Amino acid sequence: MLASIIYTAFKLHAQPPSNVEIIDSTQLHLTDEFAEDNLGPRSNPDGSVTVVLVAHRYGFSPNHIELPAGVPVTFRVATADTLHGLHIPGTNIDTMVVPGYVSEITASIQYHEVVKHGSLDADGKVTVPIYCNEFCGLNHHFMWSRVTVTRTPG
């Protein structure tokens, strides 16, 4: 078991999210990265995607994002108020969003796995929910948004 964990940690980079980066949660709108106009996914020159999200009572901004399957996606998430979580079913994207810190998690979304958890449209796009999985207040159970996953060619 230990050998499997060590092998996958070093060879496949399967590790717990451990980014330590502090930010003032009350001033997110004044930062370049977490300002409202700069939220959402953006493509990087190497083909990977970076998604910047703000979690707040009771939702995520932006509320709906579209991501390609099979490419590395890095989520950078900060909370504007209290403790939140971020979980996308059918993926290993699952992290706490702690006030005062930027949570970062990188994973590649597997199309054949998310399709089991979402709704498939006629174009082959799958829409899955993004859940908050840390109790954050009375309306915690209403805190979710959506991600649409597109199948990458090949």
Partner 1 sequence: MSKVTPEEEKEILNSSPKGTFALMLAYGAMLLLAWLLLYFGRYMALGPAS
Chain residues 15-74 in contact with partner 1, contact rule CB under 8 A = 15-17
Closest alpha carbon to 87 in 39, 144, 8, 42: 144
If one asks whether residue 1 binds partner 1 (CB under 8 A), the answer comes out as yes
8 vs 119 by CB, closer to partner 1: 8
User: Between residues 32 and 46, which has the closer beta carbon with respect to partner 1?
Assistant: 46
Smallest distance, partner 1 to C-beta of residue 90, A: 7
Per the DSSP assignment, residues forming a β-bridge with 75 are: 51, 105
Q: Does 92 bind partner 1 (CB under 8 A)?
A: yes
Residue 146 forms beta bridges with which residues?
Answer: 64, 129
Cβ-contact 26, 19 below 8 angstroms = no
User: Does 128 help bind partner 1 (rule: CB under 8 A)?
Assistant: no
> Between 99 and 118, how does the x/- string for binding to partner 1 read (CB under 8 A)?
------xxxxxx--x-----
Contact 102, 142 (CB under 8 A): no
The minimum distance between CB 137 and partner 1, in angstroms, equals 27
Alpha carbon distances (Å) from 88 to 55, 95, 110, 115, 116: 14, 10, 12, 12, 12
Point out which residues bind partner 1 (CB under 8 A). 1, 4-5, 8, 12-17, 90-94, 105-110, 113
